[in-house]
């Protein structure tokens, strides 16, 4: 059976999946997206991802293309049809197809919905054992990073810069010298005073769903936790650091630019990673 995609009401071969040339997602990046991880037939934090999708759609005044419960059914169908028990499902909703014009099209233009899947066995990543390098770059994004928009060109430029520096991720730095977040992840440090720090969820960052789960785990374990800005200098002086996202879980950071924090992942990071894995194992299999 060929790999399938879902495009506006139809399951189609992935190789033939397409949207209209005047889809506003293609023309303007006028849309939102979510990536949901699947581990052993378990959706990880599905409700959180759909809640955030609802918020992003509301901020851009885009209607749901189908009811939320119908979307969940379609997601499960696509994963089952593609026989994906470990991997990701990507869903994107745009304002739809309309003659090219910067202002919104007339009411009644249906939103576009596209979904794809990919097999990934997350536990095979060597990054969990070895840790990764991140670099710091200027944050050149727009001022509504809390919306999970498809307009990701600055993120792509930053990710490419990280790749060329043989780094896993780029942590973006605001004009005030403080780190906002990674190009596709949230940034965390553990200070010498044993405070776990990450940026507060303002319009300057995307409020990661994995981030929220890690905060809950830290609270349950009595870990001292603070949401506040932290500088590049503070990050380089940290005892530990890690990055988090739906696809990277809790990935240890052992080097920031030319500063080596450690030769191996730190104990708090490993503890949170293992606790996150245990959290996933307790989820109900729904595929």
As given in the structure block, the two tokens for residue 225 are 């936790």
Q: Catalytic pick from 83, 106, 133, 148?
A: 148
As given in the structure block, the two tokens for residue 75 are 């997601």
Asked if 201 and 262 count as a contact pair (C-beta separation under 8 A), the reply is: no
Residue 87 CB coordination number (10 Å): 19
Bridge partners, 42 (sequence order): 39
Active site residue 148: yes
The CA–CA distances, whole Å, from 241 to 36, 64, 69 equal 24, 37, 38
DSSP string, the chain: ---EEEETTEEEEGGG----TTBHHHHH--EEEEEEEEETTEESSHHHHHHHHHHHHHHHT---SS-HHHHHHHHHHHHHHTT-SSEEEEEEEES-B-SS-SSPPPTTPPPEEEEEEEE--GGG-THHHH-EEEEEEE----S-TTS-BS--HHHHHHHHHHHHTT-SEEEEE-TTSEEEEESSSEEEEE-TT--EEE---STTS---HHHHHHHHHHHHTT--EEE--EEHHHHHT-SEEEEEETTTEEEEEEEETTEE--SS--HHHHHHHHHHHHHHHTSPP--
Round to the nearest angstrom and report the end-to-end CA distance of the chain.
18
Q: Which residues are catalytic?
A: 148
């Amino acid at each position: 059976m060929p790999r399938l995609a879902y495009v506006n009401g139809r399951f189609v071969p992935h190789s033939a999946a397409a949207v209209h040339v005047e889809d506003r997602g293609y023309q303007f990046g006028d849309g939102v997206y979510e990536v949901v991880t699947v581990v052993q037939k378990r959706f990880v934090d599905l409700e959180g991802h759909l809640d955030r999708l609802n918020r992003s759609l509301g901020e851009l005044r885009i209607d749901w293309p189908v009811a939320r419960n119908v979307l969940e059914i379609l997601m499960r169908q696509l994963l089952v049809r593609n026989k994906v028990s470990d991997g990701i499902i990507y869903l994107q909703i745009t304002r739809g197809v309309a003659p090219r014009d910067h202002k919104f099209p007339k009411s009644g233009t249906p939103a576009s919905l596209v979904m794809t899947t990919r097999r990934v066995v997350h536990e095979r990543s060597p990054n969990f054992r070895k840790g990764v390098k991140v670099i710091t770059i200027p944050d050149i994004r727009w001022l509504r990073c809390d919306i999970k928009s498809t307009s990701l060109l600055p993120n792509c430029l930053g990710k490419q810069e990280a790749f060329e520096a043989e780094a896993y991720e780029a942590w973006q730095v605001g004009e005030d010298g403080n780190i906002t977040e990674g190009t596709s992840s949230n940034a965390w440090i553990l200070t010498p005073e044993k405070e776990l720090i990450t940026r507060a969820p303002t319009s300057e960052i995307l409020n990661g769903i994995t981030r929220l789960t890690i905060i809950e785990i830290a609270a349950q374990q009595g870990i001292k936790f603070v949401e506040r800005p932290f500088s590049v200098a503070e990050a380089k002086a940290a005892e530990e650091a890690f990055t988090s996202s739906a696809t990277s879980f809790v990935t240890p950071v052992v080097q920031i630019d030319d500063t080596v924090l450690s030769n191996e992942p730190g104990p708090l990071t490993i503890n949170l990673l293992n606790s996150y894995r245990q959290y996933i194992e307790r989820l109900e299999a729904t595929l």
